[in-house]
Structure 1
Amino acid sequence: MIDEEVPVLIVGGGGCGLTASLFLSDLGVRHLLVERRESTSVLPRAHYLNQRTMEIFRQHGVAEDVYALSAPLAHMSEVAWRTSLAGDGELDARDLHRMDSFGGGSTAAPYAADSPCPSTNLPQHRLEPLLRRHAEERAPGMVRFHHLMEEFTQDADGVTARITDRATGTTRTVRARYLLGADGGRGIGDTLGVTMDGDGGSWNVISVHFSADLSRWWSGDKVLITNFVSPDGGLVSRYGMVAMGPGWGLASQEWALHFHLPAGIELDLGEEATVARVRELLKLPELDVTVHQVSRYTPEAVIARTFRVGRVLLAGDAAHRQPPATGLGLNTAVQDAHNAAWKLAAVLGGTAGEELLDSYESERLPVARRSMEWAMFAFRNHGVLHAGLGLMPGAPPETTRANFRALFADTPMGDTLRARTAEVFATQRVEYQAHDIEIGFHYDRGALVPDGTPRPPLDPMGSVHHPVTRPGHRLPHAWLTRGAERLSTQDLVGRSGGFVLITGPDGDAWRLAAKETAEAYGVPLEVVAVGTADEPAGFRDEDGTWSAVRGTGDDGAVLVRPDQHIAWRATRAGAHPERELAAAVRRALGHPDPAPAAGATA
Structure 2
Amino acid sequence: MAGSSEIYPVAVIGGGPIGLSSSILLSLRGIPHILFERRPSTSIHPKACGINQRTTEVFRKMGIEDAVYAVAGPPEISGRTAWYTSLGSEGKEVASRYGWGAGPYTEEFLKHSPSKYAILPQIEAVKYRAEVMDVSERERDGYVVLKVRFAGKEPDEEVRARFVICADGGRSFTDKLGVRWLGEKDIYNMVTAHFRAPLTKLHPDPRNFITWFTHPDLGGSVKTGFLYQIGPWPAGPETDEEWVFVCMPGGTDPERFEPEAMANRIRNTLQLPDLPIEVVSLSPWNVNAIYAERYRASKRVFLAGDAAHRIPPWGALGMNSGIQDVANLVWKLDLALQDEQKYDKLLGSYDTERRPIGERVGRTSLRNLRSHSLVMDAALGMSAGNTPEQNWAALTPYFDPAHPEYARKRAAVERALKTLDSEFKAPGAEVGWFYPSADFDGEGAASRHGGQLGEDGELETEFYYPSTIPGHHVPHAWLREPGDPSDKKVAVFDLIPLRQMLLLVRRRGVGWEQLESALVHVEIVGEGGDWVDADGDWARQCGVGEEGAVLVRPDGIVAWRGEWTDGSKDVDQWGRVLDRVMYLAQ
Structure 1 residue runs of 5 or longer lacking an equivalent are 133-143, 594-602
Pairs within 5 Å for 1:178-189: 178-189=163-174
Give CA-to-partner distance per residue, 1:290-343, whole Å, 9 cap, x none.
211111100101111111122111111111111111111100000001111000
Paired residue total = 562
SS at 2:135's partner residue? Answer: strand
Amino acid across the alignment from 1:58? R
Aligned: 1:146 with 2:129: yes
Equivalent-residue separation in structure 2 for 1:194 and 1:355 (angstroms):
20
SS at 2:111's partner residue? Answer: helix
SS at 2:437's partner residue? Answer: coil
Amino acid across the alignment from 1:587? R
Aligned: 1:271 with 2:263: no
Amino acid across the alignment from 2:205? G
Q: Note the C-alpha offset of 1:565.
A: 0.6
Q: Among 374, 388, 392, which residue is 2:379 paired with? A: 388
Comparing 72-81 and 583-592, the one that deviates more: 583-592
Q: Is the 8 A contact 1:49 1:327 kept in 2?
A: yes
* Counterpart position of 1:42: 44
* Counterpart position of 1:83: 85
Amino acid across the alignment from 2:432? G
* Counterpart position of 2:333: 344
Q: Among 400, 405, 417, which residue is 1:409 paired with? A: 400
Q: Note the C-alpha offset of 1:107.
A: 1.4
Q: Is the 8 A contact 2:249 2:257 kept in 1?
A: no
Q: Is the 8 A contact 1:505 1:554 kept in 2?
A: yes
Q: Is the 8 A contact 1:210 1:254 kept in 2?
A: yes
The change in CA–CA distance for 1:61 and 1:4 in structure 2 (over 3 A counts) is: same
Q: Note the C-alpha offset of 1:588.
A: 3.1
* Counterpart position of 1:583: 576
Comparing 303-312 and 209-218, the one that deviates more: 209-218
Give CA-to-partner distance per residue, 1:218-253, whole Å, 9 cap, x none.
253431111000133379952101111121588882
Q: Is the 8 A contact 1:159 1:177 kept in 2?
A: yes
RMSD: 2.2
Q: Note the C-alpha offset of 1:187.
A: 2.4
Equivalent-residue separation in structure 2 for 1:155 and 1:552 (angstroms):
47
Equivalent-residue separation in structure 2 for 1:568 and 1:291 (angstroms):
53
Pairs within 5 Å for 1:191-340: 191-233=176-218, 238-247=224-233, 253-262=241-250, 269-308=257-296, 309-340=298-329
Q: Note the C-alpha offset of 1:267.
A: 8.8
* Counterpart position of 1:471: 470
Equivalent-residue separation in structure 1 for 2:410 and 2:524 (angstroms):
54
SS at 1:99's partner residue? Answer: strand
Q: Among 518, 524, 533, which residue is 1:529 paired with? A: 524
Q: Note the C-alpha offset of 1:429.
A: 0.9
Aligned: 1:493 with 2:481: no
Q: Note the C-alpha offset of 1:258.
A: 0.5
The change in CA–CA distance for 1:540 and 1:234 in structure 2 (over 3 A counts) is: closer
The change in CA–CA distance for 1:176 and 1:264 in structure 2 (over 3 A counts) is: same
The change in CA–CA distance for 1:547 and 1:507 in structure 2 (over 3 A counts) is: farther
Aligned: 1:370 with 2:360: yes
Superposition TM-score, scaled by structure 2 size: 0.91
Q: Note the C-alpha offset of 1:575.
A: 4.2
Equivalent-residue separation in structure 2 for 1:88 and 1:237 (angstroms):
21
Q: Note the C-alpha offset of 1:146.
A: 1.1
The change in CA–CA distance for 1:166 and 1:419 in structure 2 (over 3 A counts) is: same
Equivalent-residue separation in structure 2 for 1:555 and 1:326 (angstroms):
41
Pairs within 5 Å for 1:525-564: 525-531=520-526, 535=528, 537-564=529-556
Instruction: State percent identity of aligned pairs.
Output: 32
Q: Among 442, 445, 461, which residue is 2:437 paired with? A: 445
Q: Note the C-alpha offset of 1:14.
A: 1.0
Amino acid across the alignment from 1:160? V
Q: Is the 8 A contact 1:504 1:529 kept in 2?
A: yes
Q: Note the C-alpha offset of 1:285.
A: 1.9
Structure 2 residue runs of 5 or longer lacking an equivalent are none
The change in CA–CA distance for 1:221 and 1:580 in structure 2 (over 3 A counts) is: farther
SS at 2:532's partner residue? Answer: strand
SS at 1:33's partner residue? Answer: strand
The change in CA–CA distance for 1:453 and 1:198 in structure 2 (over 3 A counts) is: closer
Comparing 498-507 and 557-566, the one that deviates more: 498-507
Equivalent-residue separation in structure 2 for 1:441 and 1:574 (angstroms):
34
The change in CA–CA distance for 1:252 and 1:67 in structure 2 (over 3 A counts) is: farther
Equivalent-residue separation in structure 2 for 1:280 and 1:507 (angstroms):
72
Comparing 70-79 and 322-331, the one that deviates more: 70-79
Equivalent-residue separation in structure 1 for 2:385 and 2:148 (angstroms):
53
Q: Is the 8 A contact 1:71 1:248 kept in 2?
A: no
Equivalent-residue separation in structure 1 for 2:303 and 2:22 (angstroms):
12
Amino acid across the alignment from 1:88? S
Q: Note the C-alpha offset of 1:350.
A: 3.0
The change in CA–CA distance for 1:249 and 1:340 in structure 2 (over 3 A counts) is: farther
Equivalent-residue separation in structure 2 for 1:233 and 1:72 (angstroms):
32
Equivalent-residue separation in structure 1 for 2:76 and 2:533 (angstroms):
29
SS at 1:247's partner residue? Answer: coil
Superposition TM-score, scaled by structure 1 size: 0.89
SS at 2:213's partner residue? Answer: strand
Q: Among 406, 418, 431, which residue is 2:410 paired with? A: 418
The change in CA–CA distance for 1:153 and 1:229 in structure 2 (over 3 A counts) is: same
Equivalent-residue separation in structure 1 for 2:18 and 2:38 (angstroms):
15
The change in CA–CA distance for 1:435 and 1:109 in structure 2 (over 3 A counts) is: same
Equivalent-residue separation in structure 1 for 2:317 and 2:500 (angstroms):
28
Q: Is the 8 A contact 1:205 1:299 kept in 2?
A: yes
